[in-house]
């Protein structure tokens, strides 16, 4: 009894996404599939789930070769998938989401709601998932939404379950709960594929770990015979520094003061509800917290991208609450926005154009009303070299670059001047380990050069690696302040609001 | 621990719901007080103190004849003013929130009654006649809204309803003139479905911007029917002479006072509209078919991963919507004036879209919105006859003002399906 992928090859225009990959997972076994973004994990799983068709190779379930033309075929073959971005209809109830596509119904297709509720309750009890069939998805926290996804998969009687980056949105405590659920499924005889880029999790939960790099499977090991450093090296293809090298900080004068800030989100809720903190020169303050606890709104309010309801933002003694982004730029504030494609770059613009987005109107890039392209290109050439941006040239659209290199374009643009305050939001989300190392190094360098740095990340590891002081944001309030060497469990509890 | 997480997170939306509810209550309170002032100054003081208004509650061919309601116009307005003021004050005190929309609805209804009393003071006026023409005016608007609903609930924006109505009205006229009513209605529905299929094909297969695709259909329909009307119908006059569809009195039901003549003494188009609105409401919210269609309109990718064919659902819904539009077009041509005229729809398809929004993307909401819009049309006619001095265009304008208010969110939030208008690209 096993699920196998045999010699899978998949080409996209210009990219070899999977190159002769073979994998197998048996019943009651957990296989971790490790690899960086862009290594081909997701493509492989989409093939397994019938969303893509392989150019070569085959999918075999219990010794039967399958031709998966759609996810319907995969479901029928007993394959279930919990996607990284949950596939739940936000305005539907839990029960409606669970039965969708397989509705218990009577004559005229009338849905038997009681049967649907009972199904959810049964599965929920059997695997201790604690979901309420009548709750509406958009009111549920992500941890619960993930359990709804698991109920969905189990309701389709999946024997093999694929989890795509399941822990990315969870707090450390929720991760522990999640692992308990995985072990329950394993004990029940399900075969599990667990896709992740987090080394520790792969080692903790898996029976075997397969490592992918650049579309190929480069190794398959058992947790007993490997270590995090070894796995990282396999993933990246060279030895990697897992710890950010930095000296102890020497904080100086206060640069940024945020006082009793209250900010509304798009729906009118108070996403930031009375936040006070300060950042001094030569220190990195990290903001940890589960996504959606007000981080986005806090940063947007500080950066003049969102009005605040109350409170002040003070920069070097000047009230900058009502400053717009350009005024802040001129006050020597750098900003790495949380979504590089949405707000960090103009994707259709060239690398050179993106390099001067914050200062195009200044000398020497602009003279009176006309752009000086020679000066712009010259600066872009220098920045590309200096900040190690891997690009075919400065004239290509920035959308052609990989995530890591796109992020380096932003870092180059924002860091290439004497800055007073750096605000970095999710600075390394979804980029390769090499680029992460580089960007972390740059952030620490800015700190050592005397800037005040505020880093926001939903990856707790990143916050603890970079920060000299950690603030935890929970429901728009600061739920705790910790030194960087604090106990992860304590920080985790604060992230759930049950800390001090 | 799970329990705490759930509790604390759901707490936030509830509290904000309360504040928006409070804000709406305040706004509605002020609106009601404003209406009170108008009722007092204009309707109560404007009517002569002894003027009696008479509402006729039966039509000539009703079973129960001579039902009337006569009252002193000023006294009625004073009573209405007291009730409106009480309702408004209650809202502003914010003691008992909830039911805000119902309170607003009752308030507006009382206001209209008071207005009619003032307008009819010293004379008599057929209330049932007006309600009956309300239902007739609502048919095309409601059917247009239901067409939009079918498409938008599955994630395709259809602004080509106007063109579908016009084309099917033309087809209905010609086929009905040549082969009879059944052929006319069937042909019209097929014509509507065909244009729906074109829209779906452009929107799904080629991912053409759906607004542009809809506009193209409208322009095409207007050009084609105008050309054919001036070249063909003007030559062959007998192709522009369909038999008018007769009314069919539903036994017993039509004898109920007021409601009988209002709803149950009509052409089959009216019964079709009522059945469709109730049937679709049931289908969308109780059946497998409806759950899948809504899932496709809200989160197509989720539906796809569960093995639901997003493209098929979208094609099917847009084409079914076309059938409904075709039915509406046939009503225009065969039940109202029994001939085709150039641009005879005159923008009513767009009014249907407004009714879709006003009805908050719910089938019964579409029917209610159609009736409200139809009522203002009927009111405008009557007011013109009564000669109150208020321009009838002003009355016709009111429902659209109401739509703007609804869309602006004052009367509560109206939320379109999340994937409305977004092409779905597989994989």
Q: Give the integer Cα–Cα distance in Å for A6 and B309.
A: 28
> What b/e string do you get for B228-250 counting C-beta neighbours within 10 Å, with b at 16 or more?
bbeeebeeeeebbebebbeeeee
Q: Give the integer Cα–Cα distance in Å for B194 and B133.
A: 31
| Contact call for B308 and A105, based on CB within 8 A | no
pLDDT, residue B1, reads 34
Length of chain A: 500
Which of A111, A130, A177 has its CB closest to that of B291? A111
Chain Cα centroid distance, residue A383? 27
| Contact call for A269 and B12, based on CB within 8 A | yes
Q: Give the integer Cα–Cα distance in Å for B239 and B86.
A: 59
CATH code, domain with A336: 3.40.50.300
Question: DSSP E strands: which ranges in B250-320?
Answer: 265-266
Q: Give the integer Cα–Cα distance in Å for A251 and A453.
A: 11
- Let me know whether B106 and B189 are in one domain: no
pLDDT, residue B4, reads 37
- Let me know whether B137 and B110 are in one domain: no
Chain A residue nearest residue B297, CA to CA:
A89
A208-213, strands of its sheet edge to edge? A79-82, A160-164, A191-196, A30-35, A208-213, A216-221
- Let me know whether A222 and A265 are in one domain: no
Determine, yes or no, domain membership for B3. no
B18: CB partners within 8 A, 6+ apart: B97
| B325, B191 contact by CB (below 8 A) | no
Determine, yes or no, domain membership for A122. yes
Determine, yes or no, domain membership for B426. no
- Let me know whether A374 and A480 are in one domain: yes
Determine, yes or no, domain membership for A415. yes
Q: Give the integer Cα–Cα distance in Å for A429 and B290.
A: 38
Determine, yes or no, domain membership for B89. yes
Q: Is B8 on the interface with A (CB under 8 A)?
A: yes
Q: Is B244 on the interface with A (CB under 8 A)?
A: no
Contact list, A51 vs chain B (CB under 8 Å): 304-305, 426-427
Determine, yes or no, domain membership for A421. yes
Per-residue pLDDT tens for A344-368?
Answer: 999 999 999 999 999 999 888 998 8
Select from B83, B106, B122 the last residue of a domain: B122
Select from A207, A236, A265 the last residue of a domain: A236
pLDDT, residue A410, reads 96
Per the DSSP assignment, residues forming a β-bridge with A284 are A453
Which of A87, A139, A496 has its CB closest to that of B302? A87
Q: Give the integer Cα–Cα distance in Å for B170 and B105.
A: 38
- Let me know whether B361 and B230 are in one domain: yes
Could you write out the DSSP letters of every residue in A269-336?
Answer: -EEEEEEEEEEETT-EEEEE--TTSSHHHHHHHHTTSS-EEEEEEEETTEE-TT--HHHHHHTTEEEE
pLDDT, residue B414, reads 67
- Let me know whether B165 and B92 are in one domain: no
Per the DSSP assignment, residues forming a β-bridge with A6 are A58
- Let me know whether B151 and B101 are in one domain: no
A182: CB partners within 8 A, 6+ apart: A30, A163, A192, A194, A205
- Let me know whether B51 and B186 are in one domain: no
Is pLDDT larger for residue A38 or for residue A217? A217
Q: Give the integer Cα–Cα distance in Å for A216 and A39.
A: 8
Q: Give the integer Cα–Cα distance in Å for A34 and A222.
A: 12
Could you write out the DSSP letters of every residue in A199-262?
Answer: HHHHHHH-SEEEEEETTEEEEEE-GGG--HHHHHHHHHSS----S---PPP---SEEEEEEEEE
Q: Is the pLDDT of residue A275 over 90?
A: yes
Select from B122, B156, B178 the last residue of a domain: B122
Nearest residue to A390 (alpha-carbon basis) of A342, A438, A343, A346: A438
| Helix spans in A387-432 (H) | 403-415
- Let me know whether A262 and A223 are in one domain: no
- Let me know whether A221 and A369 are in one domain: no
Cα atoms found within 13 Å of the Cα of residue A275, Cβ hemisphere only: 36
CATH code, domain with B163: 1.10.3470
- Let me know whether B304 and B258 are in one domain: yes
pLDDT, residue B117, reads 87
Select from B69, B98, B122 the last residue of a domain: B122
Which of A105, A108, A143 has its CB closest to that of B5? A143
- Let me know whether A228 and A376 are in one domain: no
Select from A210, A236, A262 the last residue of a domain: A236
B356/chain A closest Cα distance in angstroms: 19
Global confidence as pTM:
0.82
Residue B76: phi and psi, rounded to 5, are -60, -45
End-to-end CA distance of chain A, in Å?
49
Cα separation values, B233 from A161, B179, B343, Å: 65, 16, 14
pLDDT, residue A85, reads 84
Range of the structural domain that residue A98 is part of: 2-236
A96/chain B closest Cα distance in angstroms: 8
B143: CB partners within 8 A, 6+ apart: B273, B276, B324, B325, B327, B328, B331, B352
Mutate to test the interface with A, among B20, B303, B305, B361 (most CBs of A within 10 A): B305
Per-residue pLDDT tens for A451-474?
Answer: 999 999 988 889 999 999 999 999
**Number of domains chain B contains:** 2
Mutate to test the interface with B, among A89, A150, A267, A268 (most CBs of B within 10 A): A89
Nearest residue to B157 (alpha-carbon basis) of B219, B206, B203: B203
Chain Cα centroid distance, residue A418? 30
Determine, yes or no, domain membership for A108. yes
| B318, B173 contact by CB (below 8 A) | no
| Helix spans in A334-372 (H) | 351-355
- Let me know whether B284 and B270 are in one domain: yes
Range of the structural domain that residue B61 is part of: 13-122
pLDDT, residue B222, reads 96
| Contact call for B295 and A269, based on CB within 8 A | no
Q: Give the integer Cα–Cα distance in Å for B322 and B326.
A: 6
| Contact call for A89 and B20, based on CB within 8 A | no
- Let me know whether A105 and A40 are in one domain: yes
Which of A89, A135, A498 has its CB closest to that of B4? A498
Q: Is the pLDDT of residue A499 over 70?
A: no
Q: Mean pLDDT over residues A330-342, rounded?
A: 92
Per-residue pLDDT tens for A223-255?
Answer: 999 998 899 889 888 887 777 888 888 899 999
Q: Give the integer Cα–Cα distance in Å for A356 and A6.
A: 48
- Let me know whether B102 and B147 are in one domain: no
| Contact call for A71 and B298, based on CB within 8 A | no
Helix B73-93 and helix B2-38: axis angle, to 10°? Answer: 150
Determine, yes or no, domain membership for B54. yes
Q: Give the integer Cα–Cα distance in Å for A373 and B117.
A: 74
Determine, yes or no, domain membership for A248. no
Contact list, A81 vs chain B (CB under 8 Å): 305
| B245, B267 contact by CB (below 8 A) | yes
Q: Give the integer Cα–Cα distance in Å for B328 and B167.
A: 11
Q: Give the integer Cα–Cα distance in Å for B94 and A46.
A: 54
Determine, yes or no, domain membership for B424. no
Per the DSSP assignment, residues forming a β-bridge with A19 are none
- Let me know whether B154 and B40 are in one domain: no
Determine, yes or no, domain membership for A115. yes
- Let me know whether B44 and B186 are in one domain: no
Exposed, middle or buried by CB within 10 Å (0-12, 13-18, 19+), for B39?
buried
> How many helices (H) does chain A have, and how many strands (E)?
16, 22
Q: What is the DSSP letter of A472?
A: E
B79: CB partners within 8 A, 6+ apart: none
**Number of domains chain A contains:** 2
Integer Rg of chain B from CA: 24
| Contact call for A91 and B298, based on CB within 8 A | yes
- Let me know whether A155 and A195 are in one domain: yes
- Let me know whether A185 and A272 are in one domain: no
- Let me know whether A265 and A221 are in one domain: no
Contact list, B294 vs chain A (CB under 8 Å): 89, 92
pLDDT, residue B7, reads 35
A462/chain B closest Cα distance in angstroms: 24
| Contact call for A173 and B298, based on CB within 8 A | no
A261: CB partners within 8 A, 6+ apart: A272, A274, A275, A276, A298, A301, A302, A308, A310, A311, A312, A313
* Degrees, nearest 5: CA angle A269-A86-A49: 170
pLDDT, residue A480, reads 92
Determine, yes or no, domain membership for B281. yes
ipTM tops the 0.90 cut: no
Which of A100, A103, A109 has its CB closest to that of B303? A100
Mutate to test the interface with B, among A42, A85, A92, A101 (most CBs of B within 10 A): A101
Determine, yes or no, domain membership for B7. no
- Let me know whether A264 and A225 are in one domain: no
- Let me know whether A272 and A232 are in one domain: no
Select from A236, A266, A287 the last residue of a domain: A236
Determine, yes or no, domain membership for B279. yes
* Degrees, nearest 5: CA angle A432-A434-A436: 70
Which of A75, A102, A110 has its CB closest to that of B286? A110
Q: Is B4 on the interface with A (CB under 8 A)?
A: yes
Nearest residue to A272 (alpha-carbon basis) of A280, A282, A264: A264
Nearest residue to A358 (alpha-carbon basis) of A338, A378, A381, A332: A332
Mutate to test the interface with A, among B291, B304, B427 (most CBs of A within 10 A): B291
Q: Give the integer Cα–Cα distance in Å for B90 and B92.
A: 5
Per-residue pLDDT tens for A383-408?
Answer: 999 998 988 889 999 988 888 899 99
- Let me know whether A348 and A407 are in one domain: yes
**Strand A370-371 to strand A469-474: parallel, antiparallel, or no bridges (unpaired)?**
unpaired
> Average model confidence (pLDDT) for chain A?
91
pLDDT, residue B13, reads 43
> How many helices (H) does chain B have, and how many strands (E)?
16, 5
Q: Is B425 on the interface with A (CB under 8 A)?
A: no
| Contact call for A88 and B302, based on CB within 8 A | yes
Integer Rg of chain A from CA: 24
| Contact call for A87 and B418, based on CB within 8 A | no
- Let me know whether B162 and B86 are in one domain: no
A435/chain B closest Cα distance in angstroms: 28
Residue by residue, pLDDT tens for chain B (427 residues) are 333 333 333 334 444 445 666 777 888 888 899 999 999 988 888 877 778 888 888 888 788 888 888 888 889 999 999 999 999 988 888 666 667 778 888 888 899 889 888 888 888 888 899 999 999 999 999 999 999 999 999 999 999 999 999 999 999 999 999 999 999 999 999 999 999 999 999 999 999 999 999 999 999 999 999 999 999 888 888 999 999 999 999 988 988 888 999 999 999 999 999 999 999 999 999 999 999 999 999 999 999 989 899 999 999 999 999 999 999 999 999 998 889 999 999 889 999 998 998 888 999 999 999 998 898 888 887 777 777 777 877 877 777 777 776 666 555 566 789 999 889 987 6
| Contact call for B287 and A109, based on CB within 8 A | yes
A395/chain B closest Cα distance in angstroms: 29
Determine, yes or no, domain membership for A351. yes
């Amino acid at each position: 009894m096993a699920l196998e992928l045999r010699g899978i090859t998949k080409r996209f225009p210009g990219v070899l996404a999977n190159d002769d990959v073979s994998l197998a997972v048996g019943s009651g076994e957990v296989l971790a599939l490790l690899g960086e973004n862009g290594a081909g994990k997701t493509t492989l799983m989409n093939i397994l789930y019938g969303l893509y068709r392989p150019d070569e190779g085959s999918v075999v379930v219990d010794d039967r070769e399958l031709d998966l033309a759609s996810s319907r075929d995969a479901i029928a073959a007993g394959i279930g998938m919990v996607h990284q971005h949950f596939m739940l209809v936000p305005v539907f109830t839990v029960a409606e989401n669970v039965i969708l596509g397989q509705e218990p119904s009577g004559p005229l297709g009338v849905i038997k709601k009681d049967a649907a509720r009972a199904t959810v309750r049964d599965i929920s009890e059997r695997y201790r998932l604690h979901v309420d069939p009548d709750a509406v998805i958009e009111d549920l926290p992500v941890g619960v939404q993930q359990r709804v996804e698991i109920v969905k998969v189990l309701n389709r009687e999946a024997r093999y379950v694929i989890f795509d980056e399941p822990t990315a949105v969870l707090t450390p405590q929720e991760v522990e709960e999640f692992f308990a659920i995985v072990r329950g499924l394993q004990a029940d005889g399900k075969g599990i594929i667990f896709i992740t880029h987090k080394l520790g999790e792969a080692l903790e939960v898996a029976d075997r770990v397969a490592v992918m790099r650049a579309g190929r499977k480069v190794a398959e090991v058992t947790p007993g015979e490997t270590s995090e450093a070894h796995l990282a090296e396999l993933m990246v293809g060279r030895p990697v520094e897992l710890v950010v090298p930095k000296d102890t900080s020497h904080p100086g004068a206060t640069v940024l003061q945020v006082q009793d800030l209250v900010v509304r989100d798009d729906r009118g809720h108070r996403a930031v509800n009375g936040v006070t903190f300060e950042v001094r020169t030569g220190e990195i303050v990290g903001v940890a917290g589960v996504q959606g606890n007000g981080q986005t709104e806090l940063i947007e309010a500080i950066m003049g991208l969102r009005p605040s309801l109350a409170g002040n933002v003070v920069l070097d003694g000047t009230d900058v609450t009502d400053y717009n982004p350009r005024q802040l730029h001129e006050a020597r504030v750098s900003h790495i926005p949380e979504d590089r494609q949405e707000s960090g770059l103009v994707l259709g613009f060239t690398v050179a154009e993106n390099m001067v987005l914050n200062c195009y109107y200044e000398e020497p890039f602009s003279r009176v009303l006309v752009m000086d392209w020679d000066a712009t290109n010259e600066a872009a050439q220098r920045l590309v070299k200096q900040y190690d941006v891997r690009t075919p040239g400065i004239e290509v659209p920035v959308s052609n670059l990989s995530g890591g290199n796109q992020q380096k374009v932003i870092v180059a643009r924002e860091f290439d001047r004497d800055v007073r305050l750096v605000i970095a939001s999710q600075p390394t989300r979804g980029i390769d380990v090499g680029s992460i190392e580089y960007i972390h190094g740059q952030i620490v360098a800015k700190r050592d050069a005397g800037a005040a740095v505020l880093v926001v990340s939903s990856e707790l590891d990143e916050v603890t690696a970079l920060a000299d002081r950690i603030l935890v944001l929970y429901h728009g309030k600061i739920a705790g302040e910790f030194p960087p060497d604090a106990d992860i469990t304590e920080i985790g509890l604060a992230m759930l609001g049950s800390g001090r | 621990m799970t329990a705490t997480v759930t509790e604390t997170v759901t707490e936030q939306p509830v509290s904000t719901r309360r504040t928006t509810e409070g804000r709406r209550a305040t706004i509605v309170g002020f609106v009601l007080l404003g209406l009170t002032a108008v009722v007092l100054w204009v309707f109560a003081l404007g009517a002569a103190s002894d003027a009696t208004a008479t509402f006729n509650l039966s039509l000539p061919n009703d079973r129960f004849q001579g039902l009337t309601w006569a009252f002193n116009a000023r006294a009625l307005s004073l009573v209405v003013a007291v009730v409106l003021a009480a309702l408004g004050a209650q809202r502003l005190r914010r003691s008992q929130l909830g039911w805000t929309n119902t309170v607003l609805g009752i308030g507006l209804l009382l206001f209209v009654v008071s207005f009619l009393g003032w307008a009819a003071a010293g004379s008599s006026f057929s209330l049932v006649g007006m309600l009956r023409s309300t239902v007739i005016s609502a048919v095309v608007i409601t059917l247009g809204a239901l067409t939009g609903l079918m498409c938008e609930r599955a994630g395709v924006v259809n602004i080509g309803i106007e063109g579908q109505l016009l084309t099917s009205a033309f087809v209905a006229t010609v086929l009905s003139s040549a082969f009879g009513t059944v052929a006319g209605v069937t042909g019209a529905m097929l014509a509507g479905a065909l244009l729906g299929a074109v829209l779906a094909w452009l929107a799904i297969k080629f991912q053409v911007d759906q607004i542009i695709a809809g506009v193209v259909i409208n322009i095409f329909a207007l050009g084609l029917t105008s050309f054919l009307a001036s070249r063909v119908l003007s030559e062959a006059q007998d192709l522009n002479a369909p038999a008018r569809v007769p009314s069919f009195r539903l036994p017993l039901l039509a004898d109920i006072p007021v409601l009988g003549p209002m709803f149950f003494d009509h052409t089959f188009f009216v019964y079709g509209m009522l059945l469709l609105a109730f049937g679709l409401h049931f289908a969308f919210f109780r059946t497998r078919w409806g759950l899948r269609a809504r899932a496709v309109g809200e989160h197509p990718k989720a539906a796809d991963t569960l093995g639901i064919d997003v493209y098929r659902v979208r094609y099917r819904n847009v084409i079914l919507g076309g059938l409904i539009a075709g039915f509406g077009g046939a009503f225009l041509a065969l039940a109202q004036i029994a001939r085709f005229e150039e641009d005879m729809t005159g923008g009513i398809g767009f009014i249907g879209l407004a009714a879709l929004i006003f009805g908050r993307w719910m089938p019964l909401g579409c029917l209610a919105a159609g009736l409200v819009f139809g009522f203002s049309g009927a009111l405008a006619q009557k007011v013109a006859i009564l000669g109150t001095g208020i321009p009838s265009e002003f009355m016709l304008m009111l429902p659209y003002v109401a739509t703007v208010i609804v869309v602006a969110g004052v009367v509560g939030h109206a939320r379109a399906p999340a994937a409305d208008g977004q092409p779905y690209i597989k994989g």
